[in-house]
Amino acid sequence: MKVIRAKSAGFCWGVERAIKIARSFADGGKRSVFSDGPLIHNRQMIQNLEAEGIRDIGDYQSRKPLEESLAEAGDAVLVVRAHGVSPQRREYLKGLGAEFRDATCPDVGIVAGKIRKYARAGYATVIFGDRDHPEVIGLLGYAEGRGFPVQKCADVEALPPLGDKVCLVSQTTMFTDDFQVIAECLRRKYTEVVVLDTICGATKARQEDVARLVASGAEVIVVIGGHHSANTCKLADLSRRSGIKTLHVETAAELSEADFAGVQIAGVTAGASTPEFLIDAVCEKLVAMR
């Protein structure tokens, strides 16, 4: 079978940077490194990192107090993952007694800075994103108590009175077309709306690559990544929207030849948290299929 692999498949630079930071302090397992919530939303990569002395001790949303006492953990390092945290959470983590390192993706940091700027200028903040996602939870902390997550136009209609000044930003991993729809809904409801497209370049590249796979003749698209990874699930959803058969798998073991009966060309892409070794294994298995 011919396999076309998306150029953007695999780690985004923010995830790669966070892993690099954590590994630099772990020093091959010589030092304990803890993350506030899973450093990466991929089970196989988490297992590899744990073998190197890097493990998470927080909850997925970075909301609960940490159960482990870091003051007694010697020279341990506490790392903020790529999704970032609220200013309040950051101060809490800094006070736990461990060396503190911030691995927030710079793209997420830029969004936080924009929210803070407009919030201090009197704007209410509307965030297009999943209210339960750790990135959105962290970003809401910069909105001066006037932040409102939305996912569809019905959510916009349900917003309380926000005054005339509204700023719209996006979770970095959302769909561009959906963001524009939300922007139009807000413009119809509020007098002054500042629209800031904060969807990151890596996300846009993945979305564009799905269209390229379809245009290149892919009859099936395989999306690789954790079933609990938000950006991977969105990528699989985007592929399905194109009308093409889509398989979302975590590993090559989930692939069956029956799923590719009569298929000559398969497209492969992967979420921002998917390591290279998993993508390689999927491509190798597909190429070997008859």
Kindly report the backbone phi and psi dihedral angles of residue 175, in degrees, each rounded to the nearest multiple of 5, phi listed first.
-80, 135
Q: Is 157 a known active-site residue?
A: no
Between the alpha carbon of residue 41 and those of residues 24, 61, 272, 274, the distances in Å are: 20, 12, 9, 8
- 35 backbone φψ class: left, alpha, beta (φ>0; ψ -120 to 50): beta
Contact 5, 279 (CB under 8 A): yes
**Which residue is catalytic, options 135, 144, 219, 254?**
135
Contact 178, 150 (CB under 8 A): no
Which value, in Å, is the radius of gyration of the alpha carbons in the chain?
20
Q: DSSP string of 54-81?
A: EEE-S-TTS-SPPSS-STTSTT-EEEE-
Q: Which residues are catalytic?
A: 135
